[in-house]
Structures are given as structure tokens and as C-alpha cells.
Amino acid sequence: EAGVVQSPRYKIIEKKQPVAFWCNPISGHNTLYWYLQNLGQGPELLIRYENEEAVDDSQLPKDRFSAERLKGVDSTLKIQPAELGDSAVYLCASSKDRNEQYFGPGTRLTVT
């Protein structure tokens, strides 16, 4: 079974530039999550999707962050414009029940 796929694995951009991260969840997993992980901290949930619907986006900074999950499969997380403080690892996870979330390897973003 293929795991959660994320791309790119690393991204370096200058501040004020836009950036996008892509996630392909495990086949059959209806729930998809985006997390942000700062250095030395645990992951923090940004947004959760049930199929195409964002059911929890309370932690998503909506002034610069946006996400979409077209057709209830792949998802894209975008930041525009990026700020220095956005440097972090962005993790995507998927699940088909409440007991276990499967995480991708993450995208490490560096904003200079």
C-alpha cells in the first residue's frame, strides 16, 4: 500500500513570494489533514477535510493561507505571500477511521 505522498520535499523561497504544497493521500482515505510543525514542537492542525469539505479550518490563517481538495482526493495548501515566520515543516496526513492517521514525509519550507 502506497503511503501519503507529498511534494516538494524541500522548498526555499524569498519572503512575499507564493508557495504551494501538494498532497496525495492513501487511496480510500476520506479524511485529509494539513499540519504545521515548527522546530522542536509537535505538529499543529491547520485544516481537516472530509472528502471535499473543509470541516475544521479554525487554525488556518486565512489572510495568507488557502487550501483546496478537489474531487475529494489530492489536496493543495498555498501560502501567499509567504513570511519569514512561515518557515516550518508542512505535513499532510490521511485516515479512514478515527484511530489512526497516516502522515506523509512533509515539506520543509524555508523563507528567506
Partner 1 sequence: DAKTTQPNSMESNEEEPVHLPCNHSTISGTDYIHWYRQLPSQGPEYVIHGLTSNVNNRMASLAIAEDRKSSTLILHRATLRDAAVYYCILRAQGGSEKLVFGKGTKLTVNP
Contact residues for partner 1, defined by CB under 8 A: 4, 31, 40-45, 48, 56, 91, 93, 95, 98-106
Side chain identity at 97, as an amino acid letter? Answer: D
Q: Parallel, antiparallel, or unpaired for β 107-111 and 88-95?
A: antiparallel
Cβ 6 to partner 1 shortest distance, Å: 8
Distance of CA 85 to the CA centre of its chain: 16
Cβ 14 to partner 1 shortest distance, Å: 24
Nearer to partner 1, 14 or 44 (CB): 44
What radius of gyration do the chain's Cα atoms show? 13
